[in-house]
Amino acid sequence: MIDTIIFVFIFLFGTIIGSFLNVVIYRLNTSKKIVNSRSVCFSCNKTLYWYEMIPVLSFLIQKGRCRGCASRISHQYPIVEVATGIVFAILAYHFMPLLYINTNLYIFYLSYFVFIFSILIVITVYDMRHKIIPDRLVYMFIFLSFVLMFINTTGMGEIFVLPSVLQFVAGPLLALPFALIWLISKGTLIGFGDSKLIHGIGWMLGISMGLSALFISFWLGALFGVVMLALKKMKVNMKTEIPFAPFLVIGCFVAFIFQLGIFKLSELFIF
């Protein structure tokens, strides 16, 4: 019962944060202030009331249109809100065993990872919209991953630990090949931002899970490419830029939630 209440609460909290992430996505690298600036309709500039900004619900009630000028509101709003809610609820579930051992620790880990994945959600959508990963966000992610190496997330023993050498090199080691591909291809095959993102993923997950995350991202990316080709949605040539951050973030999330080391991942494919 208490678990269900927590999930529902965290999901709703996630949709509210998701609504804020939408604002960040739209205002990042523009002259608009992220906080201290009222939300307006992009078409008619009408200032939005609080009841026009309720996550998901407002969009459904207004049938996806502005109450002032009836122009369409982007589907990005409800999608990001629901997705953030789901990600938060899954994280809450992931750390659940800790809740009964050490409630404070549960709240700490959950907050930490909720923050990390909020950044990753913004990176994902921003990359889809602009085909670029904002430096500020990816550096923040790398920093949080770095600090994470010194925190023992098992919930047993000391809270602060020293990372192993292998864990320490995981970030640079996973990122290096991609940085080289970026350099050699002059940025046509992969962006430097992707390589930075992979650096953060390496520090967050370590070598084994980090490799799994990469494999999952590449499979998903390839699958996406094939489906798009089959649907003839894309004219693929050397200049086709597919944002890669979304796949990296999904790979990172899946590897983390299932604690999918590279050996566990390979076992899944041996019957």
- Residue placing its CB nearer to Zn ion in the complex, 46 or 94: 46
Q: Is 64 in the site for Zn ion (CB under 5 A)?
A: no
* Sign of the torsion angle spanned by Cα atoms 73, 78, 79, 80: positive
We find the least distance from the C-beta atom of residue 46 to Zn ion, in angstroms, to be 5
We find the least distance from the C-beta atom of residue 58 to Zn ion, in angstroms, to be 13
Quick check: 21 and 118 in contact, CB under 8 A? yes
Cross-strand pairs, 65:
72
The piece of 51-59, 67-75, 166-174, 232-240 that touches Zn ion (CB under 5 A) is 67-75
Q: Is 41 in the site for Zn ion (CB under 5 A)?
A: yes
Residues 6+ positions from 74 with CB-CB distance below 8 Å: none
Q: Considering only residues 8, 9, 37, 44, which one is a binding residue for Zn ion as defined by CB under 5 A?
A: 44
Query: What angle, 0 to 180 degrees and rounded to 10, lies between the N-to-C axes of helices 245-257 and 192-230?
Result: 100
Q: Copy the structure tokens of residue 237.
A: 């040539």
- Residue placing its CB nearer to Zn ion in the complex, 70 or 183: 70
- Kindly determine how many residues on this chain lie close enough to bind Zn ion according to the rule CB under 5 A: 7
Q: For the CA atoms of 20, 22, 23, 27, what is the dihedral angle to 10 degrees?
A: 140
Q: Considering only residues 39, 43, 74, 76, which one is a binding residue for Zn ion as defined by CB under 5 A?
A: 43
- Residues 161-190 as x/- pattern, contact with Zn ion by CB under 5 A: ------------------------------
Number of H helices, E strands in the chain: 10, 0
Q: Considering only residues 66, 92, 121, 122, which one is a binding residue for Zn ion as defined by CB under 5 A?
A: 66
Quick check: 134 and 96 in contact, CB under 8 A? no
- Residue placing its CB nearer to Zn ion in the complex, 73 or 148: 73
Quick check: 138 and 200 in contact, CB under 8 A? yes
Cross-strand pairs, 47:
40
Q: Is 73 in the site for Zn ion (CB under 5 A)?
A: no
We find the least distance from the C-beta atom of residue 89 to Zn ion, in angstroms, to be 32
- Residue placing its CB nearer to Zn ion in the complex, 41 or 149: 41
Residue 189 DSSP class: S
The piece of 42-50, 73-81, 173-181, 202-210 that touches Zn ion (CB under 5 A) is 42-50
The piece of 26-34, 44-52, 126-134, 181-189 that touches Zn ion (CB under 5 A) is 44-52
- Residue placing its CB nearer to Zn ion in the complex, 45 or 154: 45
Q: Considering only residues 69, 162, 226, 234, which one is a binding residue for Zn ion as defined by CB under 5 A?
A: 69
Cross-strand pairs, 160:
151
* Phi and psi at residue 151, to the nearest 5°: -110, 130
Quick check: 262 and 212 in contact, CB under 8 A? yes
Q: Considering only residues 64, 68, 163, 225, which one is a binding residue for Zn ion as defined by CB under 5 A?
A: 68
Residues that bind Zn ion (CB under 5 A): 41, 43-44, 46, 66, 68-69
